[in-house]
Structure 1
Amino acid sequence: MKEYQVKLVSENHINFNESLNGSFFEKANCLTDFCSAWNEDPILKIEFRALWNLENFFFNFRVFDTDVYLDQKDDSFDSIGNSDRVELFFRKNESLNPYFCLEMDASGRLMDFKAHPNKDFDFDWKWPKKDLDIKTSKDEISFTVEGRISIQSLRELNLIEDNIIEAGVYRAKFSKNEKQEYEPTWISWVNPNTETPNFHIASSFGKFRLL
């Protein structure tokens, strides 16, 4: 199983909205080995970084893409699901019963839900608001989605065991096809080895080791 090492930062009581910036994540390991298992076209570079302290797990996606598609008809899950986004899934174990999904588009809209095997999704479930923050930014060559998840909420959901978090890291890239319709390219850290695109499967997960 692929593994990403999450470094511990000494600072506690970090103010997410004030303190996180590019320099904060410079001390993190940089994960770049993403693949598009169902599309042979080259993918644009993605950098994922994470850090943690005793209070929070911090994550940062930087996607080197300026042709970003957002479905802005409303703020529904359907609209988010039709937009360029990054995703983090968390599970207790490979049974996926349950697992928890955070799908975040380039504008910062969030689709959070609990799931069970065979794509049994509970969209009424929400990650507690006090335990999750997300913000986005962009520059001339990329967009960034970063966030904070409380360690307490991860523990309450039984998602940390022996300093291991089992997680999936993904991206959905929307591009126009020959019919001028937007369709997704599915990109993941771990190749699920399925014939058709599927992130909602045990083989798409890896491990975050909290150092």
Structure 2
Amino acid sequence: MRVYNVNNIPLNQLIITGKADSNLWERACFLRDFHSPWKEIRNTETKFKALWDEDYLFFLFEVIDNNIHIHRTDNSFNSINISDRVELFFRPDSSLNPYYCLEIDPTPRIMDFKACPDKDFDFNWNWPHNDLIVKSSLNPKGFCVEGKISISSLKKLNLIQDGKIETGIYRAKYYKTKDSTYEPVWLTWVDPQTETPNFHISSSFGVLRLK
């Protein structure tokens, strides 16, 4: 499994603004090698960082893209599901029974749900409200999504094992087609080795290692 090292920072020092403007982010490694195994994609870049302290896991997506698609009809999960977004999936183990999904668009609307194998989704489940904070911003080059998840909630869900969090890190990029509809291209850190796009399988996960 691929491993991303999450560096430790002092407690209560990183303030989430949605703009990635804290100097503490300089202590994090950049994860840049997102790609689509199924379709060629150009003129866009996805960058990810993570840090942690005793209370929170912090994450940052910086997306470079001059053509962002946000479906703004309403704030439903259906609307988020057809918008550009970044995604984090967490699992206790490779059985995926269960695993937990966060899908966040640039505004930032959150689609969070619990899942079981074969894409058995429970949209009535939500990440505990006080344990997840996400902010975002749009900029001339693209958008930024910055967030934090409480360590306590990760432990309650059995997602931290020996200082490691098994994690999928993804992005959905929507393109306008010739008939004026929008179709996604899926980008991932870990190639799941599937013929068609599918992140809801064990082979799409890597590891966040808390240093």
Instruction: Give matches, 1:72-83, under 5 Å.
Output: 72-83=72-83
**Partner residue, 2:46:** 46
Residues 1-20 of structure 1 mapped to structure 2, 5 A cutoff: 1-12=1-12, 14-17=14-17
Q: Report how far residue 66 of structure 1 moved.
A: 2.3
Q: Partner of 1:196 in structure 2?
A: 196
2:209 alignment partner, SS class: strand
Q: CA deviation at 1:6?
A: 0.1
- TM-score, normalising length: structure 1: 0.96
**Cα distance change on mapping 1:185 and 1:193 into 2, 3 Å:** same
* Partner residue, 1:90: 90
Contact 2:60 2:147 in 1 (8 A): yes
Partner of 2:148: 148
Runs of 5+ consecutive residues of structure 2 not aligned to the other structure:
none
Q: Cα distance 1:69–1:92, how it changes in 2: closer, same or farther (>3 A)?
A: same
The CA distance in 2 between the partners of 1:179 and 1:42, in whole Å, is 21
Q: Which amino acid aligns with 2:89?
A: F
Structure 1 residue 34 and structure 2 residue 34: aligned?
Answer: yes
**Distance in 1 between the 2:29 and 2:111 partners?**
26
- Cα 1:94–1:62, aligned 2, differ >3 Å: closer, same or farther? same
Q: Whole-Å Cα distance in 1 between the matches of residues 20 and 45 of structure 2?
A: 22
The residue number in structure 2 matching 1:122 is: 122
Q: Distance in 2 between matches of 1:94 and 1:8?
A: 26
| Residue aligned with 2:125, SS | coil
Deviation, 1:179, is 1.5
Partner SS state of residue 26, structure 1: helix
